Chains A and B, each alone.
Chain A
Amino acid sequence: MAKKTKPIRKTSQSLPVNKNLYYALIVLGLILVLYLTMNMGAKKQYTTEVTPKGYENTYPEIVDGESLNKANMDLDNADLNEIDTELSDLDTESSNF
């Protein structure tokens, strides 16, 4: 009968070891979740800030005649022919069907 109770004792003795292991795993898991959350937040910030780029979203304030002239020049520099270039690339892609 005494021999039969031994395994029960062993189990109760091994519990604290497992508990520590569980705590360690929980802490590691929390660290991992925290890291992933921060990383995803950074990625999200990157996509919202950088993806729409191509042209500036804000234009510098016009303070005098010089900056008015610059605004006029910037308008001229907007290359509308890029649309034609992209359209001819589209034609090339669709030439075989």
Chain B
Amino acid sequence: MNKLVTSFLLTLAFLLTAAKVSLAYTPIATRANELRTQSCESRQEVIKNRMANLLRMSTNMVEVFDNIKQRVQEYYQNKVLTNGKTLPSYENLVQMTQTKKDSVQTALDTAASDSEQFSCASDDPKEALTTFRKDMQSVKTALKDYRTSIKNLIVAIRTVKLTTPTPSGVE
């Protein structure tokens, strides 16, 4: 009888301890999640602004590159061609700049779309930021390639002028 009581008491003690431990741990985990969410929410607006700034900065760079490319093409049409000179690889080089520009636009669109996925209410807001980070690295690489393609166009056109230097307007 004593053995039965003892084993019953031991079982009861074990169950109580287990319940106590589980009760003690659950609030800590919940609290950690709450703190993480609060930390995210307090920075949510700043993070969203930074993402928007990054996208705007990249878009501005594309616009600058576009403007330079347009001026280079105008120069080729108005100065080089009118002087009776041509660059055989011109069309290919221009086509290459357009291909690179399209890549930048695709990367920017992806980044903009992924930036909208960020929310502190989601299960893992950090994952959305990691994705956005990768997107922006792709944008940077695409921008670099686009810049290189315009530089190649400039250098090629400059070579034409260097091989046959003439004062402007005089043939």
Contact = CB atoms under 8 A, between A and B. Distances in A.
A94 B43 contact: yes
A87 B140 CA distance: 11
B32 to A, nearest CB: 11
Interface in A77-97: 78, 80, 82-84, 86-87, 89-91, 93-94, 96-97
A61 B54 contact: no
B64 A59 contact: yes
Contact of A62 (B50, B71, B136, B162): B71
B37 interface: yes
Interface of A: 52, 54-65, 67-69, 71-72, 74-76, 78, 80, 82-84, 86-87, 89-91, 93-94, 96-97
Given A54-B57, A72-B154, A61 B64 contact: no
Nearest to A64: B168
Interface of B: 36-37, 39-40, 43, 46-47, 50-51, 53-54, 56-58, 60-61, 63-65, 67-68, 70-72, 74-75, 79, 120, 125-126, 129, 132-133, 136-137, 139-140, 143-144, 147, 150-151, 154-155, 157-158, 161-162, 168
B57 A78 contact: no
Contacts of B139: 83
B160 to A, nearest CB: 10
